[in-house]
Structure 1
Amino acid sequence: MKAKALSAVATVLLLAVMAAALPFSVPKLFGYQIYNVLTQSMEPAMPVGSAIYVKRCDPQALEQGDIITFRLSEATGLVETHRVVENDTQARQLITKGDANALPDVNPVSYERVVGKMVVCIPVLGTVSEMLHSGPGVTACVAIFALAIILWTLADKTKKRERSK
C-alpha cells in the first residue's frame, strides 16, 4: 500500500513537470515560434506577461488588422509584434502600429523582416515561461524530477520488503 502511494506521488510530480513543458515544446514541432509579451504596446489585446504563438506566413497575404511579429532590423534578433495597418505589396513593406500607440510605427516593415502572423495569445503563460526558464525555475524542475526518481526507488524497495514479509 505504501509503495503504491509513493509511486503515485512520483508519477504526479513527473506529470506536472511534463505538463509545464508542453505548451512551450509541442507547438515548436508544428512550426510555431513562441514569444513573451514584454511591453504594453499591444494592450489590451496582448497583455504584458502573455505568450504568443506565431506561424510563418506569406507577407503578401497579410491584411489590415493581422497581428505580426517582425525583426526590428536585419542584423538583430530582437522582434516586435504589432498590428498591420497597411500592406504595400508594390513596395513589399507593411505599415504597423501597436494598439496602445497613438500613431503608426515610424519605420515600415520590409517583407524580409516578417517572422510570421500571430495565431494565438495566452495571457500569463509568458510569465510562467520566464519563471520556468530562469535559474530557480530550472532548478525546481530538476529537483522535482529527481524527487520523483527517488520516490520510485523507495516505492520499489518498499514493494520488495512488503512481498518478503
Structure 2
Amino acid sequence: MASITFNQDSVTLLGNEVKVGDTAPNFILLSNDLKEVTLDDYQGKVKLIAAVPSVDTGVCAEETIRFNKEADTLPNVQVLTISMDLPFAQGRWCAANGVKQLDTLSDHRNADFGKNYGVLIEELRLLARAIFVVDANNKVTYVEYVSEATNHPDYDKALEAAKNA
C-alpha cells in the first residue's frame, strides 16, 4: 500500500492500491447536480482522474485549475477531479473559478472511490492526492500516489500519460 503523509504526519490509507495494468475499479460518485456517476459514464474515453483532499484549498485549487486549462489539449480525454467536498460546494467553486472543462465529482456519500482506489485517509475522511490515467478500455496506464498530500502531483507525467493512453 502507498505510504503518504498529510502535513508531514503519517496517515493510513484505506482500500486497495491501484497499479498500472489493473482494470480500473468502478465507483459511484455524485455530480454537482446530485446525479450518480460511475466509471461506465465515461465509456470509450481516456480518463485522467485527479483525487484531491478539497478543491477549496490552495494546492487542490491550483491543480484543478491547471487540469481544467490542459483539458482542451487532450482530445478524447475526460478529466475528473474527485474530492469529499459536497457537490454544492464543488459547483460553487467551479463557477467562481471558471472551471468548465472537467467534471468535479463528490465521494462524500459512501467514500466509494476512496476505498476502491486506495486513497481514503482514515484519520481525516479526506482523499489523498493521487492521479490515475485510465485508457478507453478501462485499463490503468498511469498511477501517482503523491507522497505528501499537500504537494503537487507531477503534472507533466500525468498529462503525457493521458495523451499516450
Higher relative contact order (CA 8 A, sep 6+): 2
Normalized per residue, the structure richer in helix is: 1
Instruction: Output the TM-score relative to the length of structure 2.
Output: 0.21
- Structure label with greater radius of gyration: 1
Instruction: Output the TM-score relative to the length of structure 1.
Output: 0.21
